[in-house]
Amino acid sequence: MSDSKITQDFIGFGLGLRTDHFEYILQHQPAIDWFEVLSENYMVAGGKPRYYLEAFAEQYPVVMHGVSMSIGSTDPLDMDYLKSLKKLSNDINPKWISDHICWTSIHGVNSHDLLPLPYTEETVKHVVERINVVQDFLGRRLLLENVSSYLSYKDSTMDEWEFLSQVAEEADCLILLDINNIYVSARNHCFNPLDYLNKIDPRRVQQFHLAGHSDHGEYVIDTHDNEVPPSVWTLYQAALERFGPISTMIERDANIPDFPVLYQELLEAQKIAELTLPGHPALACSSLTPMGLDSHTTAAFQTQSLLPKRKVAV
């Protein structure tokens, strides 16, 4: 394995762009490093969503994140979808484009769920061939994100992290590592999440996702409706130690709080990175500052104990 760098430079700490925050962002122009946009929300030209997106893209770096590529499906690749994706990419010039290593459709019917794949050599070959087609069409490397899962296939012959690593290597693509998804799957399938981190090639990890989940004791559901819990912060710290500074995003899809609340959570990610990687020059590129928060929130942030105990529960 070569030590040469594959990924792009660290671009700091970002948030998922959500409609709830459009007006706040335009009015306050918060000091944030970048936004991640859901590709499918903006693939129709014109209209209010594109008006806002183009306004944000003029002020902030953006990355595109999709949920409907269905790269693992046995359906033919949807070339109309890919043409729209490429058109959006040409229009807003994102830093990168990501989707999930999963399947979402069969016989042309979109389940709107991110469904896991059987981890076999046959699946690796199938997915790699499709990634190569997509990357050639888009003219750039694709990032693929690990999904959370609640079942496994009896036909699987390798662990999820082995599957993800082999696909990334053979397709020469990059990885969006969702730290929360690793924790959720580790709890549901009873594996050690540190084993997952330790088997992923650091050269191929371009982005982290952080999110909250719902803990039901015997199982965990990836709900994205709450703040990042201590268990995921702890795993994030371990990921920073393994991979170094990686562009990091807080992802919230339901029960979305006011923008300053999410901003404070992002500041916590930044602070954990600074404490885990003290003096790392890449972290100096971030424009995040507590100055954008009210005095009460800033005081709470400055006095909060940010680094949880290093124990990852599974």
Stretch 222-236: mean pLDDT, rounded? 95
How far is it, in rounded angstroms, from Cα 14 to Cα 11? 9
Q: What's residue 202's pLDDT?
A: 96
Q: Which residue has the higher pLDDT, 191 or 301?
A: 191
Label residue 66 by pLDDT band (50, 70, 90): very high
How far is it, in rounded angstroms, from Cα 211 to Cα 231? 11
Mean pLDDT of the chain: 91
Q: What's residue 110's pLDDT?
A: 85
Among 70-84, 144-158, 263-277, 283-297, whose mean pLDDT is lowest? 283-297
Rounded (10°) angle between helices 79-92 and 121-138: 50
Token pair 């036909």 is found at: 155
Predicted TM-score (pTM) above 0.75: yes
Q: Which residue has the higher pLDDT, 198 or 303?
A: 198
Which amino acid is residue 64, in one-letter code?
A: M
pLDDT for 291 beyond 60? no
Q: What's residue 81's pLDDT?
A: 96
pLDDT for 277 beyond 90? yes
pLDDT for 100 beyond 60? yes
pLDDT for 119 beyond 50? yes
Q: What's residue 3's pLDDT?
A: 59
Count of CB atoms situated within 10 Å of the CB of 15: 23
Token pair 């061939």 is found at: 129
Q: Bridge partners of 215?
A: 220
pLDDT for 213 beyond 50? yes
pLDDT for 302 beyond 80? no
How far is it, in rounded angstroms, from Cα 179 to Cα 312? 12
